[in-house]
């Protein structure tokens, strides 16, 4: 019964020879490896990279010093150090691989320090202007400049391409300038967020006058404008270095100096302009709703399908360069019963060791439902191949994966259908760099692969996109108005209220308990069943289990359980999609891993499993049982401020990489928590915003990654999102939680809310949301039980799932 450790503080170190694993050298090295494998080489004209041995280089840009290891909010991590680009290349200089110009080092370091002291957020600083003397001195040292740019975003706010419409909480639109926003205490987003700032444009423009060769390093967490370097032949190389955790600067140096051959591939489409993404129109129209009018045509599904949009792409989904070349040959392709199977030979024909990602796509007949031109079906990454070495990879997927959901009854309502016609298959290294296979799957009649029931019907989505770029109208209706208690009418007053506030009242309740109790350990040892144990809990004890509990130890996101008289430990939770998040004042350093998007760009399931397992060991060592990761939301728009916490625009990549992370975490008997379920693709006013989307888009795009994770990795917990889905809060949505998640997918774990939701606790319990974090409202639950709006069986079912989760932990 190792779960009993949660009764005690602190834990013993889990490393060898009594050493701690948290922030250990082994974990930091794994973080560096993952960062290097997730970097994507976008451009390499004239093979300027890797840098020749001993090459002199000049680092330009404040981002050479101001390295952004990851995003803000729950994705932040307290670390012992961070290596920036300058640090990483200086280490390579000590190995005689490059020579780095030092003349700008102190200038940039002092500038960044002063900006931060003045209150500037990371990467919100302005690019400084260099004097002519600085330019001349740098150019005398080398003809090659490495220009470093960084971007930062975080939880609770979205990115901007420039100053845009602002919205007050009553929905009134205003147009404000920077000065007015500052006076109101509002956050001011720099003009250069998605696009280059004027200062950055000046840096890049001036650098062309002084340097023959220019290389760009992008330290970013999400998509930014790429046209300025895509269209400029004088910029010879671009390395998308993402946000690589605490060793990101050294990992980038590994790539530049060929200690690692780049093998990362894009998990998003880089279009020419922000307005080329269909989600851009309307993204900031309202702070109270988002209309998903592009429907299933998200990311490459849009650009590959809608007429005239393919030429609007700079770098396609799945794209990434290497320092070597690979010969790819299809050895065998066949359909066996209900599966498509393909064997592909991958041979390294270059002079440097490397890895390649093989991607399998399919094309379904457009039929009456309309389909994307291509959809990812499967992928595999090779091991590290030495020159002239070969590996055969196997790709396969079930034919039913090609079915589409009919939500309006064009063929068979509320069913997944493979329409009659020809299904084609493609193998390649990006969605555009593919070759069609010989095998064609032909259906003579429509095949209903699965019959379901209507769920999540939209009521205020006016129209949705079709495969030809036109729109079809949808039936609309009004939402049912729900009268909520006064406490929920002014939710801002609840923000930050900790469970401790209600803890004294709990002690009063516990004084009424009987002197002899059954303990949870009796269930673990097989002495009694869980049902018998729950029958031994009174109503007050049951409802207290459905809310968060006070923090203990180093935890800062509260816990679950916490009934000493019945031997129920208080199990702590922790933030951290990019690593275990412990507040700085605790004095504990952990490992900052690459951001989620970067991990996805590795396309390496086994590597992600290792990261998950290593991170979970740190969670366990600090006496925490539930890790609030991975983030599973779709990159619907480049403007979502939290995209760095999520994997991809594609649900198959998100699901496969997310499943690998969950498997790694739970291999250590720590609970993973895929989040935010579901359709949380915008941070602005996220606790009140309504995501309006069709049932088909929900099932095929925004729920699909979660479905893959549930069926492949069996996560022990899932976190619901703040937002509403077609008018109903996700945590109150019975169709989402009971009908789809548990009924259709077979999920049998625990569901938690996100922290301090605006939904009502008793409605969440009725929907199948087991626990309300960071604290519950037991008095409200008791009142609704007495008034008959809540059933004791519903309470017991939720409590049972909470207790079953605790028994799984170590």
* Residues classed as catalytic: 754
CA distances from 298 to 293, 637, 651, 672, 678 (A): 10, 9, 10, 27, 16
**Separation of alpha carbons 106 and 532, rounded Å:** 68
Residue 219: in which H helix or E strand, if any? strand 213-219
Residue 252: in which H helix or E strand, if any? helix 248-256
Phi, psi of 672 (to 5 degrees): -85, 155
User: What is the per-residue DSSP string for 687-749?
Assistant: TT-EEE--HHHIIIIITHHHHHHHHHH--SEEEB-SSEETTEEGGG-HIIIIIIIIIIT---S
CA distances from 625 to 280, 463, 530, 555 (A): 39, 44, 20, 10
User: What is the per-residue DSSP string for 27-71?
Assistant: HHHHHHHHHHHH-EEEEEGGG--SPPTTEEEEEESGGGTS---S-
The neighbouring-strand residues paired with 443 are 421
Side-chain half-sphere CA neighbours of 292 within 13 A: 30
How large is the C-alpha radius of gyration of the chain?
27
> What value, to the nearest 5°, has the Cα angle with vertex 289 and ends 288 and 291?
165
Nearest to 297 by CA among 717, 591, 697: 697
Burial class from Cβ neighbours inside 10 Å (0-12, 13-18, 19+) for residue 2 reads: exposed
CB 125 within 8 A of CB 150: no
CA distances from 561 to 544, 570, 571, 810 (A): 8, 5, 6, 15
Round to the nearest angstrom and report the end-to-end CA distance of the chain: 8
User: What is the per-residue DSSP string for 105-151?
Assistant: HHHHHHHHHHHHHTTPPTT-SPPPPPPHHHHHHHHHH-SEEEEEEE-
CB 677 within 8 A of CB 625: no
Kindly state the tokens that stand for 209.
């006058």
> What value, to the nearest 5°, has the Cα angle with vertex 673 and ends 672 and 675?
145
DSSP H helices, 257-339, are 300-305
**Separation of alpha carbons 799 and 771, rounded Å:** 8
Residue 392: in which H helix or E strand, if any? strand 390-398
Kindly state the tokens that stand for 653.
């990549």
CB 247 within 8 A of CB 611: no
CB 24 within 8 A of CB 79: no
Which residues lie closer than 8 Å to 63 by C-beta, 6 or more apart? Answer: 85, 123, 148, 149, 150, 217, 219
The neighbouring-strand residues paired with 724 are 690, 729
Q: Which residue has the tokens 């780095």?
A: 100
**Separation of alpha carbons 501 and 524, rounded Å:** 31
**Separation of alpha carbons 546 and 769, rounded Å:** 9
Nearest to 466 by CA among 296, 702, 634: 296
């Amino acid at each position: 019964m190792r779960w009993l450790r949660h009764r005690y503080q602190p834990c013993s170190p889990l490393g060898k020879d009594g050493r701690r694993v948290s922030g250990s050298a082994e974990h930091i090295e794994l973080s560096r490896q993952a960062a290097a494998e997730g970097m994507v080489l976008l451009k390499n004209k004239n093979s300027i990279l890797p840098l020749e041995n001993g090459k002199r280089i000049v680092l330009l840009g404040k981002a050479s010093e101001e390295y952004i290891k990851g995003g803000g909010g729950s994705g932040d991590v307290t670390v012992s150090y961070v290596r920036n680009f300058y640090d990483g290349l200086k280490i390579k200089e000590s190995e005689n691989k490059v020579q780095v110009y030092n003349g700008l080092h102190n200038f940039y370091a002092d500038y960044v320090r002063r900006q931060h002291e003045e209150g500037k957020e990371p990467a919100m600083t302005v690019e400084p202007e260099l004097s002519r003397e600085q330019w001349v001195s740098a150019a005398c040292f080398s003809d090659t400049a490495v220009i470093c740019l960084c971007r930062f975003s975080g939880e609770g706010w979205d990115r901007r391409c420039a100053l845009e419409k602002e919205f007050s909480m009553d929905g009134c639109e205003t147009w404000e300038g920077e000065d007015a926003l500052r006076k109101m205490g509002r956050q001011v987003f720099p003009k250069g967020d998605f696009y280059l700032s004027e200062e950055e444009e000046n840096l890049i423009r001036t650098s062309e006058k002084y340097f023959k060769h220019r290389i760009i390093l992008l330290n970013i967490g999400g998509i930014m404008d790429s046209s300025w370097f895509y269209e400029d032949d004088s910029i010879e190389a671009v390395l998308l270095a993402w946000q690589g955790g605490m060793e990101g600067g050294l990992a980038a140096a590994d790539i530049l100096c060929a200690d690692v051959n780049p093998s990362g591939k894009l998990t998003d489409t880089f279009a020419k302009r922000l307005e080329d993404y269909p989600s851009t129109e309307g993204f900031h129209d309202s702070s109270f709703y988002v209309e998903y009018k592009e429907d299933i045509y998200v990311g490459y599904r849009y650009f590959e399908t809608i007429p005239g949009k393919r030429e609007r792409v700079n770098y396609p989904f799945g794209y990434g360069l290497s320092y070597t070349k690979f010969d790819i040959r299809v050895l065998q392709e066949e359909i066996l019963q209900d599966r498509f199977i393909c064997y592909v030979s991958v041979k390294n024909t270059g002079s440097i060791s490397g890895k390649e990602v093989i991607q399998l796509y399919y094309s379904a007949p457009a039929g009456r439902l309309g389909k994307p031109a291509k959809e990812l079906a499967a992928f595999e990454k090779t091991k590290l191949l030495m020159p002239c070495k070969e590996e055969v990879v196997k790709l396969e997927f079930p034919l039913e994966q090609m079915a589409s959901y009919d939500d309006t009854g064009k063929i068979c309502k509320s069913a997944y259908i493979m329409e009659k016609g020809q299904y084609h298959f493609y193998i390649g290294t990006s969605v555009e760099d593919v070759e069609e296979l010989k095998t064609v799957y032909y259906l003579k009649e429509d095949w209903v692969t699965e019959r379901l029931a209507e769920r999540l019907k939209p009521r205020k989505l006016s129209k949705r996109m079709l495969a030809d770029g036109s729109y079809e109208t949808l039936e609309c209706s009004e939402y049912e108005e729900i009268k909520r208690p006064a406490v929920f009418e002014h939710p801002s007053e609840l923000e930050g209220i900790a469970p401790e506030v209600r803890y004294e009242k709990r002690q009063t309740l516990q004084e009424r308990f009987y002197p002899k109790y059954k303990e949870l350990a009796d269930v673990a040892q097989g002495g009694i069943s869980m049902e018998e144990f729950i029958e031994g809990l009174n109503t007050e004890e049951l409802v207290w289990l459905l809310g968060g509990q006070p923090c203990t130890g180093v935890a800062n996101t509260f816990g679950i359980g916490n009934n000493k008289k019945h031997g129920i430990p208080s199990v702590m939770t922790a933030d951290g999609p990019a690593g275990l998040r412990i507040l700085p004042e605790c004095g504990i350093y952990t490992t900052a891993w690459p951001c989620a998007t970067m991990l996805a760009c590795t396309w390496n399931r086994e590597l992600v499993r290792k990261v998950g397992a290593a991170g979970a060991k740190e969670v366990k060592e600090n006496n925490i049982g539930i890790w609030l990761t991975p983030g599973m939301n779709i990159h619907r728009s480049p403007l979502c401020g939290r995209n760095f916490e999520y994997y991809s625009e594609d649900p198959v990549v998100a699901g496969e990489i997310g499943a690998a992370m969950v498997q790694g975490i739970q291999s250590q008997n720590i609970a993973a928590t895929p989040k935010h379920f579901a359709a949380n693709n915008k941070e602005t006013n996220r606790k009140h915003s309504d995501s309006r989307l069709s049932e088909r888009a929900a099932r095929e795009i925004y729920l699909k990654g979660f479905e893959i994770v549930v069926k492949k990795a069996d996560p022990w917990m899932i976190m619901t999102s703040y937002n509403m889905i077609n008018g109903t809060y996700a945590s109150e949505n019975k169709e989402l939680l009971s009908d789809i998640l548990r009924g259709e997918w077979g999920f049998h774990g625990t569901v938690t809310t996100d922290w301090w939701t605006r939904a009502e606790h008793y409605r969440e319990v009725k929907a199948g949301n087991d626990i309300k974090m960071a604290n519950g409202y037991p008095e409200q639950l008791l009142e609704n039980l007495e008034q008959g709006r809540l059933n004791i069986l519903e309470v017991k079912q939720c409590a049972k799932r909470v207790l079953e989760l605790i028994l799984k932990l170590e």
